């Protein structure tokens, strides 16, 4: 376990976001705030190696929570792998989706004008080589965040909602909810992350926001549910 | 075959619409999409990607390796087999691995190479994330949605015959200048083998996609400016929002609502951060 000294604070913001609730996935409904899993995804888009594993400590919700509804034409199915296999072997199949036949209209309830600060640190995994140091990974991550470099562009839940990011090296800006009555809010059970080591088991936690800040690790201590 | 792209890119596309509906909202009776909080017009990412797919299908139709996975309208069945015939599929590969299937799809389909696709397998793989990423396009100013009633002097049903004519509605935006922003990741390009000539085709399609999408609903739509930021490395040299801020659009129409591209001035700041090359494609 690495001390908090190796933590980072990353400000992330964007026009839209959709952190889809698993129970409402057909017509997507977003959670009120970013999930730790989505926050990890943003960090991994910037820097990740098998030797490290990002842990989300706290999430600051800087902007008021607002929703917006968008309905789009979407495809109803996925590419069946079997059909691809047939085509691969030279079989004669029509390998395409027809946008007039295969269309469904789905609404998404998405978040608007989001801005968060992700406080996170990373831990070394078993994949780390003997000469790999925490400092090395920490400095690469910091450099990328300062320069705006990324492996692929990070996004808020869906790829059409890109994330702008900036490393916060000083005091974090205050949340809209700071010192307000609605700044203390029980956000209910939220997805914490998917446990890939255990057959992709979903782990949930009871998210609690105080002064616009969700202390993820503290909430987890109150019991993660899987 | 050209090389896989080795640079990160961001781009800004400015396009406008005159007396047309750039993207109807199915929730609002096909009125042009509008951001209810600001009144600005919206064109979704998928709407723009649809046009790119249609353009590529049009110019590269029948060319091996440029098939389109998500087709629109009439599908000409005999075309795709051509695409996957040329690969020279090995007959000995009895049980292709998932990676081989993914690779096969990427090599054949331009839209999978560019945007990615989801393929179902038992495990969570066979999912390809493409290098090209779009956000929603928004109009520079608030748009004015107008509903125009039209008449048709013929009827569909016999029982309406005595009416002689039926009424219909058209939803239009008198004028709107929209700004779309996009991202291209060199790292994801490696995974789908998105090459330099694929990138050129993408720029071509962004410039020309509206030229082949004319219809009664769309009115007059044109791409006006395509500004590309090329980073000198795969990871990039600068935050994307800093680059996007280099392109500003000023409204010159003052008190009157803007009604043409001439009512706007596009200002592109010349001072680029180190390692960024600005390319004005249009």
Picking from B24, B36, B45 by the largest number of A CB atoms within 10 A of its own CB, the best residue to mutate is: B45
Which residue of B lies nearest to A84 if distances are taken between CA atoms? B101
Which residues of chain B are within 8 Å of residue A84 when distances are taken between CB atoms? 101, 104-105, 119
Q: Which residues of B touch A97 (CB under 8 A)?
A: 69-71
Give the CA count within 13 Å in the CB-facing half-sphere of B99. Answer: 1
CA B233, B237, B242, B245 torsion-angle sign: negative
Name which of A63, A31, A45, A36 is nearest A183 in CA terms: A63
pLDDT averaged per 10 residues, chain B (length 282) = 94 97 94 94 96 93 84 60 60 65 88 88 67 96 94 81 83 97 96 95 97 94 97 95 96 91 95 95 92
Q: Which residue of A has its CA nearest to B239?
A: A148
Partners of B19 in the β-ladder: none
* pLDDT at residue A119 in the model: 97
pLDDT band at A4 (very low <50, low <70, confident <90, very high): very low
Give the pLDDT confidence of A51-70 residue by residue, as tens digits. Answer: 999 999 999 999 999 999 99
Neighbours of B102 (CB within 10 A): 23
Among the partner residues B26, B133, B181, nearest to A105 by beta-carbon distance = B26
Q: Is 50 exceeded by the pLDDT of residue A3?
A: no
Residues of chain A contacting B185 with CB distance shorter than 8 Å: 150-153
Judged by CB atoms closer than 8 Å, whether chains meet at A164 and B240 is answered as yes
Q: CA-CA distance, B282 to B279, in Å (whole number)?
A: 9
- Residues in B touching A100 (Cβ below 8 Å): 72-73
Tokens of B212: 């082949």
B89 with A88: Cβ contact below 8 A: yes
C-beta of residue B178 within 8 angstroms of C-beta of residue B137: yes
CA dist B51 and A134 (Å) reads: 46
pTM of the model: 0.91
Q: Are A202 and A191 in contact (CB under 8 A)?
A: yes
Task: Say how far residue B280 (Cα) sits from the centre of its chain.
Answer: 18
What confidence tens digit (pLDDT) does each residue in A112-122 have? Answer: 999 999 999 99
Q: What are B219's two structure tokens? A: 């009115």
């Amino acid at each position: 376990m690495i001390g908090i000294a190796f933590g980072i604070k990353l400000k992330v913001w964007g026009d839209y976001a959709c952190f889809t609730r698993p129970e409402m996935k057909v017509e997507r409904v977003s959670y009120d705030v970013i999930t730790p899993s989505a926050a990890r995804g943003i960090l991994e888009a910037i820097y990740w190696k098998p030797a490290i594993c990002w842990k989300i400590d706290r999430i600051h919700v800087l902007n008021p929570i607002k929703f917006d509804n968008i309905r789009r034409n979407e495809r109803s199915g996925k590419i069946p792998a079997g059909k691809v296999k047939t085509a691969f072997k030279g079989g004669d199949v029509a390998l395409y989706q027809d946008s007039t036949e295969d269309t469904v209209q789905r609404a998404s309830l998405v978040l608007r004008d989001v801005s968060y600060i992700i406080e996170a640190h990373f831990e070394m995994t078993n994949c780390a080589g003997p000469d790999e140091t925490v400092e090395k990974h920490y400095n690469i991550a910091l450099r990328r965040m300062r320069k705006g470099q990324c492996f692929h562009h990070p996004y808020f839940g869906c790829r059409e909602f890109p994330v702008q990011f900036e490393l916060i090296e000083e005091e974090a800006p205050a949340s809209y909810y700071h010192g307000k009555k609605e700044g203390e809010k029980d956000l209910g059970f939220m997805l914490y992350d998917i446990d890939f080591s255990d057959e992709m088991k979903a782990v949930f936690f009871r998210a609690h926001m105080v002064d616009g800040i969700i202390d993820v690790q503290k909430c987890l201590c109150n019991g993660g549910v899987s | 075959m050209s090389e896989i792209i080795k640079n990160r890119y961001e781009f800004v596309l400015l396009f406008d619409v005159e007396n047309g509906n750039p993207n109807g909202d199915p929730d609002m009776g096909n009125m042009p999409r509008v951001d209810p909080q600001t009144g600005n017009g919206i064109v979704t990412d998928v709407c723009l990607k649809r046009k790119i797919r249609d353009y590529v299908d049009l110019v590269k139709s029948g060319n091996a390796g440029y098939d389109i996975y998500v087709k629109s309208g009439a599908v000409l069945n005999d075309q795709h087999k051509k695409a996957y015939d040329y690969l020279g599929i090995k007959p000995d590969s009895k049980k292709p691995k998932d990676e081989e299937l993914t690779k096969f799809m990427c090599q054949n389909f331009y839209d999978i190479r560019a945007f990615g696709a989801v393929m179902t397998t038992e495990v969570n793989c066979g999912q390809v994330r493409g290098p090209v990423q779009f956000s929603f396009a928004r109009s520079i100013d608030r748009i004015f949605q107008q509903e125009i009633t039209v008449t048709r002097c013929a009827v569909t049903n016999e029982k309406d015959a005595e009416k002689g004519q039926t009424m219909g509605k058209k939803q239009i935006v008198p004028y709107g200048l929209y700004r779309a922003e996009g991202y291209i990741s060199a790292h994801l390009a490696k995974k789908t083998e998105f090459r330099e000539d694929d990138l050129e085709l993408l720029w071509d399609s962004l410039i020309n996609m509206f030229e082949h999408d004319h219809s009664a609903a769309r009115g007059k739509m044109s791409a006006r400016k395509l500004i590309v930021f090329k980073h000198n490395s795969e990871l990039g040299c600068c935050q994307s929002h800093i680059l996007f801020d280099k392109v500003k659009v000023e409204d010159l129409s003052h008190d009157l609502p803007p009604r043409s591209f001439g009512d706007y001035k596009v200002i592109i700041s010349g001072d680029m951060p180190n390692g960024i090359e600005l390319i004005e494609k249009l």
